[in-house]
Amino acid sequence: MKTATIPSVRVEPEFRDEVEQVLGEGESLSQFVEAAVRACVSQRKSQAEFIARGMKSLASARRSDEYFDAGEVMRRLKTKLDSAKKQQSQARR
């Protein structure tokens, strides 16, 4: 498979120096840039999927006219979390 290139990015020399200082052992600047772009693409896809799920949920709530108080949801989730932590703590004994 042929590879493609991502356009070069012009930055201030000071910023390039800063980036080069954080490179890992044996890591090239190109590898760092590719990893950063991949991470950003992944984050944006996840964000778009999150928003889509939220919009779908909102549409469902509007259709059913069934809404839940955020404070109550958070209290129930905290209760579940506390219970799970307690069970985990007891299992370690």
> DSSP letters of the chain?
-----PPP----HHHHHHHHHTPPTT--HHHHHHHHHHHHHHHHHHHHHHHHHHHHHHHHHHHHT----HHHHHHHHHHHHHHHHHHHHHHH-
Q: Which residue type sits at 7?
A: P
Q: Tell me what pLDDT residue 1 has.
A: 84
Condensed to tens digits (0 to 9), the pLDDT of residues 4-41 reads: 999 999 999 999 999 999 999 999 999 999 999 999 99
- Predicted TM-score of the model (pTM): 0.69
Helices 13-21 and 29-64, axial angle in degrees (round to 10): 90
Condensed to tens digits (0 to 9), the pLDDT of residues 49-68 reads: 999 999 999 999 999 999 99
Q: Tell me what pLDDT residue 29 has.
A: 96
